[in-house]
């Protein structure tokens, strides 16, 4: 730390940082099927839009049904991830 209170890496620290693993955000998309991710994003967006419309314009009964349906399907997604669908 210098007199102004600023910190900086030493030459050895910079070398270590440069030789280390990539940042998590650089690795996150590596090997991802971008087409599949785009399709999933579009499907999720369509569900959100339909849900939003029901909540904005539907009756109380329709909103209750929509909330129950979204909640049920959320619970059904996790077993798929766990491989126990």
The number of distinct structural domains making up the chain is 1
5 in a structural domain: no
Q: Quick check: is 4 in a domain?
A: no
* Domain assignment of residue 17, yes or no: yes
pLDDT at 2: 72
Q: What parts of the chain have a pLDDT lower than 70?
A: 1, 27-29, 85
Q: Which pTM value belongs to this model?
A: 0.59
**76 in a domain, yes or no?**
yes
Residues contacting 27, CB < 8 A, separation 6+: 21
Determine the structural domain holding residue 76 and report its residue range. Answer: 11-82
Instruction: Locate 27 and state its tokens.
Output: 């690795």
Residue of 39, 69, 76, 74 whose CA lies nearest to 54: 69
């Amino acid at each position: 730390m210098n007199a102004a209170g600023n910190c900086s890496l030493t030459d050895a620290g910079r070398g270590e940082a440069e030789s280390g693993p990539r940042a998590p955000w650089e690795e996150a998309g590596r090997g991802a099927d971008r087409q599949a991710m785009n399709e999933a994003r579009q499907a999720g967006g369509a569900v959100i839009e339909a849900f939003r419309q029901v909540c904005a314009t539907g009756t109380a009964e329709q909103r209750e049904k929509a909330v129950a349906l979204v909640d049920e399907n959320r619970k059904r997604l996790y077993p798929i991830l766990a491989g126990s669908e």
